C-alpha cells in the first residue's frame, strides 16, 4: 500500500506489464494485430488537446504530490 502512496502510476504500469505479454501471446496465436491497433488508437487520442492536457496535468500533480512528501 505504501508503494501506491509513493507512486500512484505504479499500479497502472504493473497492470500494463502484466497484461501486455499475455496480449502479445494472444495476438501471435490468433494471428491478429489487436494490441498494435489499440496502441495506435490511444496514441492518436493522446495527441488531441482534450486528452493530452489532462494527462500532462495528472503527471504534474503526481510530481507535486511527491515533492510535497519530500521524495
Domain spans of the chain? 2-69
| Model pLDDT, residue 2 | 74
57 HSE (CA, 13 A, CB side): 6
pLDDT tens digit sequence for 3-45: 777 778 888 888 999 999 999 999 999 999 999 999 999 999 9
| Model pLDDT, residue 38 | 95
| Model pLDDT, residue 7 | 79
Q: What is the model's pTM?
A: 0.67
> Measured between alpha carbons, how far is 41 from 5 in angstroms, rounded to an integer?
30
User: Bigger pLDDT: 64 or 69?
Assistant: 64
Amino acid at each position: 500500500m505504501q508503494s501506491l502512496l509513493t507512486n500512484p502510476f505504479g499500479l497502472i504500469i504493473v497492470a500494463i506489464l502484466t497484461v501486455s505479454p499475455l496480449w502479445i501471446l494472444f495476438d501471435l496465436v490468433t494471428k491478429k494485430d489487436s494490441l498494435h491497433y489499440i496502441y495506435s488508437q490511444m496514441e492518436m487520442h493522446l495527441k488531441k488537446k482534450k486528452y493530452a492536457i489532462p494527462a500532462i496535468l495528472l503527471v504534474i500533480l503526481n510530481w507535486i504530490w511527491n515533492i510535497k512528501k519530500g521524495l
